[in-house]
Amino acid sequence: MRPVLAGYGPGPATALDDDSLARFAAIWSRAIYPVTATSMTKAEFEAHLRPLAAVLRDTLHAERFEPRAAVSVGTGLVAAHCTDPEALPSILGVIDAYLVLYCGPGADLGLPADECRARCSRLQHAVAVGFAHALRERTLREQESISRAALNAKSEAESALAASEARFRAVFETAAVGIGIADLDGTILELNAALVRMFGSEAFIRQRRTCDWLHPEHPEPPEHAGRPEHSGRPEHSGDTEDVNRELVRGERDHYQIEKAYPRADGSVLWADVQVSLLRDGAGQPRYQLALLDDVTERRRLLDRLRHQATHDALTALPNRALFFERLDQALEEPAGGPARHIGVCYLDLDGFKAVNDSLGHAVGDRLLLAVADRLRDCVTSPDQLVARIGGDEFVALYADPPDRRAVTDLAARILGALSTPVLLDDRQLPVHGSLGIVHGPVGGRGPADILRSADITMYRAKERGGNRYEVADADADARAITRHGLTNQLPSALRHHEFFVEYQPLIALEDNTVLGAEALVRWSHPVHGVLGPDRFIPLAESTGQIVPLGRWVLEQAVRQAQEWRQDTHCPGPPPRINVNLSPVQLGHRGLVADVAAVLDDSGLEPSALCLEVTESALIGADKDALEPLRRIADLGVAIALDDFGTGYSNLASLRWLPVSVLKLDRAFTLGMRRGPADPMESKIVECIVTLAHALDLTVTVEGVETRVQADHLRALGCDTAQGWYYGKAGPADRLHKLTLADTG
Ligand code: C2E
Ligand code: CA
Ligand code: CA
């Protein structure tokens, strides 16, 4: 049984049957067979490819992704004589186009598509590395035999053996590798057609002596340095000139390098070079023989693959894979010497989802591009790297920063870079971000741990309003982890019926009758006990879980209200039900249909339902945003403005809102709890009540805790009250008892 990605799927990869593998191998064989020099039949060749395809498939799915396993596939292909220059692009082309299609995880495995693509790119890279390596080994072997022939021919030629000279000429002229022979001073004596083709002109080659060709004229670009998967490291990349001097003095017989040369037309030739010393019959050094293999295409391909596998396609910033590669390097503990440090800044854009949802993905993409450009400028030295690791998530790595200040400076630079809005099609889009910073000595913590800490610290910055950074510390981490945990547990909590609803009575101040109740949700958490809504509603809002949760509360509450109303023992007016609606639900497309469906299913009259929306969600909302609420009001459902007075209400704007109830926040009535009321406070409440009544709104006061308070509010003209004086939130049947007690 094949290993399956942990956490990505439900079990063994049953969907990946051998049929798909065979189909993949068949396509692969069809593409490569024409460019092989194999003596196998087509069928044999296809059979040869099948185990190689299986290696690719298994590597793609391995729990721990080890792209290096695919190196053997490249080797296997060279062994099957796929050595034509055309072969590699065909080999990789088929992997690119069909591997994920035929051997990728089925939908039921749920491996994220971009992860799958990234893995596929890494696999191609590994195959190319294996291929190049095997090809070079093979070329080396060929070169060696040519060397031997040349050596024999040269010495025999000097003994004037014409036949031998002719034999040498034939080898020399028809060889596919470039061959050049020079004397010990470096004057070029002979070169073959292949070498001329490689450089573009014979005169161009002859105008320099061999030692001039050794200059590192095209030094390796720094991004190639130290790459772990590049197998083409020269045997002697250090001081080639020194090594060549040793050869000329007869102290070594050959050396090999991979090096860039200028061509006659100014372009770059990458060649794998094998230089050998030719001695005379007495063993004295006489000539230098250079064999050059053109590896330019292979290098380009490797570079492109490497780039694709390590960079984000949209922004061209380093991707998650490269970030972790660098983080791993930065976390390597030095043997001895002073302890090194590490700095990570995790950036998440504030409100990016809203841009994407309202202006579309194309605009979102352009915004990300603009952000990426700005972030690129924030990096000021080679030990810093900015990568894009998710939708609107970026991370800056600072390998061994001098102190914490240097890391917070980097974070401040990033915030600064985002402080001016992005101009897109005459539209100014503000971009802000929240940053979580981790700084500390290396050792003890793994890369995943560090990133997680930076991530939850970033959330802390978001909770404090965004557009800022926070620095990780252990205590805050622990608190955040609980929050983090709660957030992750929300979906399953709903499935496992861990939520329940309590009801708090709403009382008519005029005659103290029970008018109905407000539904308040609670979470009976298996570990933390009963959690109040303030602990989890904000989390549910930030993840969107509030939509299913809110719908569930609505269903429960409406069903409960209908039950009360059908209970013939229940005297007094038929109870109404108030349900809280989060601003996030308000932005959800299905809201109106959901409310209508819930009412329909239960049979509750729409007028018995009141949805409470906080004032901050309504004030300042434009017409479109209010449209769903208006349509709900049109159904006959009452809308209450909750927590009135806590926001920046413009009383005049109440006229435009589809609202029929005003719920006065507790803060207005605190001063009335005991003894004589504060005259100013009374005046304010009186004014609000007058205005509300003028606008045909009823006024509910929240947080009534004493009789004095209740009497005073009644005198001020408030209509309805809610608070501990009348009853705390409790189980549904308590309302029933309250009603009986009240009237009895
Ligand atoms: P809210 O809508 O303002 O609900 C009233 C809160 O005040 C409730 O807290 C209630 O227990 C508390 N309260 C009631 N009477 C008194 C009193 O006399 N004195 C004092 N000091 N407090 C009183 P709770 O249940 O913790 O709910 C907190 C908030 O959570 C609610 O504020 C509401 O905004 C939100 N919430 C509760 N259930 C839901 C829900 O199903 N959906 C959504 N979106 N939000 C909910
Ligand atoms: Ca409420
Ligand atoms: Ca309230």
Q: Which atom of ligand 1 is nearest to the CA of 581?
A: 44
Q: Of 420, 379, 424, 383, which is closest to residue 401 (Cα–Cα)?
A: 383
Tokens of 713: 């509010």
In the reported structure, the alpha carbon of residue 580 is separated from the centroid of ligand 2 by a whole-number distance in angstroms of 5
Q: Is the CB of 534 under 6 A from ligand 1?
A: yes
C-beta 665 within 6 A of ligand 1: no
Q: Which amino acid is at 334?
A: P
92-106, 145-159, 310-324, 571-585: least confident range: 145-159
Residue nearest atom 11 in ligand 1 by C-alpha distance: 729
- The SS3 call for residue 130 is helix
Residue 713 predicted with pLDDT over 90:
yes
Q: With a 6 A CB cut-off, is 615 part of the ligand 1 pocket?
A: no
- Residue pair 648/678 in contact (Cβ under 8 Å)? The answer is no
Cα distances (angstroms) measured from residue 318 to each of 117, 314, 543, 687: 16, 11, 27, 60
Shortest-distance ligand to the CA of residue 663:
3
- Mean pLDDT score of the chain, rounded to an integer? 84
Does 553 sit in the ligand 1 pocket, CB within 6 Å? yes
Does the pLDDT value for residue 616 go beyond 80? no
Q: In the chain, what percentage of residues exceed pLDDT 70?
A: 87
Counting ligand 1 atoms within 8 A of each CB, the residue from 553, 580, 661 with the most, and so the one to mutate, is 580
Cα within 13 Å of Cα(552), Cβ side = 18
What pLDDT is stored for residue 433 in this prediction? Answer: 95
Diameter of the chain by CA atoms? 133
Q: Which atom of ligand 1 is nearest to the CA of 585?
A: 44
Own/partner pairs, 488-491, CB within 8 angstroms, 24+ separation: 489/525, 490/536, 490/539, 490/540, 490/543, 490/545, 490/549, 491/545
How far is the CA of 241 from the CAs of 255, 326, 435, in angstroms?
11, 33, 50
pLDDT tens for residues 39-75?
A: 788 888 999 999 999 999 888 888 788 888 899 999 9
> Which of ligand 1's atoms lies nearest the C-alpha of 541?
44
Token pair recorded at residue 446: 């793994």
Q: Are 109 and 8 contacting, i.e. CB atoms less than 8 angstroms apart?
A: yes
User: What confidence tens digit (pLDDT) does each residue in 384-432 have?
Assistant: 999 999 889 999 999 999 999 999 999 999 999 999 999 988 888 889 9
The response to whether residue 372 sits with its C-beta less than 6 Å from ligand 1 reads: no
The ligand 1 atom at the shortest distance from the C-alpha of residue 705 is 18
| CATH number assigned to the domain covering 485-730 | 3.20.20.450
Q: What is the pLDDT of residue 163?
A: 58
Q: 610: helix, coil or strand?
A: strand
Q: Ligand 2 center to residue 611 CA distance, Å?
A: 9
pLDDT digits (tens, 9 = 90+) for 219-244: 444 344 333 333 333 444 457 888 88
Distance separating alpha carbons of residues 657 and 81, to the nearest angstrom? 77
Q: 586 near 617, Cβ under 8 Å?
A: yes
Answer yes or no: are the C-beta atoms of 288 and 191 closer than 8 Å: no
Closest by alpha carbon to 5, among 111, 106, 112? 111
* Angle at the Cα of 461 from the Cα atoms of 460 and 466, rounded to 5 degrees: 135
Cα 670 to middle of ligand 3, angstroms = 14
Binding site membership of 645 for ligand 1 (Cβ less than 6 Å): no
Residue 520 has pLDDT above 70, yes or no: yes
Q: What φ, ψ does residue 295 adopt, rounded to 5°?
A: -115, 20
Question: Does ligand 1 lie within 6 Å of residue 134's CB atom?
Answer: no
Cα 195 to ligand 2 centroid, rounded to whole Å: 84
For 88-138, what is each residue's pLDDT tens digit? 888 888 888 888 877 766 544 556 777 787 888 888 888 888 888 888 788
> What residues pack around ion ligand 3 (CB closer than 5 A)?
642-643
Separation of alpha carbons 295 and 78, rounded Å:
15
Domain 175-301 listed as CATH 3.30.450.20: yes
Q: Is the pLDDT of residue 2 over 50?
A: no
At 285-297, the pLDDT tens digits run 888 889 898 888 8
Q: How far, in Å, CA of 122 to CA of 321, rounded? A: 10
DSSP assignment of 609-655? EEEEEEHHHHTT--HHHHHHHHHHHHHT-EEEEEEETSS---GGGGG
Find out whether 697 and 737 touch, Cβ atoms under 8 Å.
Answer: no
**pLDDT tens readout for residues 677-700:** 788 888 888 988 998 898 899 999
- The 3-class SS string of 183-210 reads ECCCCEEEECHHHHHHHCCHHHHHCCCH
Q: What is the pLDDT of residue 519?
A: 98
Is 466 close to ligand 1, i.e. is its CB under 6 Å away?
no
Region 712-719: mean pLDDT is 95
In the reported structure, the alpha carbon of residue 520 is separated from the centroid of ligand 1 by a whole-number distance in angstroms of 6
Question: What pLDDT does 582 receive?
Answer: 94
For tokens 């709903």, name the residue.
494
Of the candidates 270, 258, 262, the residue with the CA atom closest to the CA atom of residue 295: 270
pTM score, two decimals? 0.46
The pair of three-digit structure tokens given for residue 62, joined into one six-digit string: 């391995």
Residue nearest to atom 37 of ligand 1 (CA): 520
Tracing tokens 């009250």 back to the chain, one arrives at 721
CA separation for the pair 581, 592 (Å, rounded): 12
Return the number of other C-beta atoms located less than 10 Å from residue 231's C-beta. Answer: 15
pLDDT greater than 70 at residue 9: no
Q: Is the Cα torsion angle 25, 30, 35, 37 positive or negative in sign?
A: positive
Burial of 403 (0-12, 13-18, 19+ CB in 10 A): exposed
Domain boundaries defined on the chain: 18-137, 175-301, 312-472, 485-730
Residue 589 has pLDDT above 80, yes or no: yes
pLDDT value at residue 466 = 92
pLDDT for 166: 66
Nearest to 231 by CA among 75, 120, 117, 87: 75
Beta bridge partners of 424: 427
Question: What pLDDT, on the 0 to 100 scale, is given for residue 560?
Answer: 96
Q: Distance, CA 28 to ligand 2 centroid (Å)?
A: 63
CATH tag for 312-472 (out of 3.40.50.300, 3.30.70.270, 3.40.50.10160, 3.30.70.890) = 3.30.70.270
Q: What is the distance between the alpha carbons of residues 558 and 595, in angstroms, rounded to a whole number? A: 10
Mutate to test the pocket of ligand 1, among 500, 503, 520 (most ligand atoms within 8 A of CB): 520
CA of 665 to the centre of ligand 3 (A): 6
- DSSP class of residue 404? H
More confident residue, 140 or 513: 513
**Which of 542, 665, 702 maximizes ligand 1 atoms within 8 Å of its Cβ, making it the mutation to test the pocket?**
702
**Ligand 1 centroid, distance to 541 Cα (angstroms):** 16
Confidence of residue 85 (pLDDT cuts 50, 70, 90): low
pLDDT reported for residue 50 = 92
| pLDDT top residue among 443 and 382 | 382
Can you name the residues that pair with 74 across neighbouring β-strands?
Answer: none
* 261-275 mean pLDDT: 90
User: Is the model more confident about 17 or about 204?
Assistant: 204
* 361-378 and 404-417 helices, crossing angle to 10°: 140
Nearest CA to ligand 1 atom 33: 580
How much is the pLDDT for 265?
Answer: 92
The verdict on the CB of residue 580 being under 6 Å from ligand 1 is: yes
Lowest mean pLDDT segment, chosen from 241-250, 406-415, 650-659, 707-716: 650-659
Task: Give the range among 90-94, 231-235, 538-542, 664-668 with minimum mean pLDDT.
Answer: 231-235
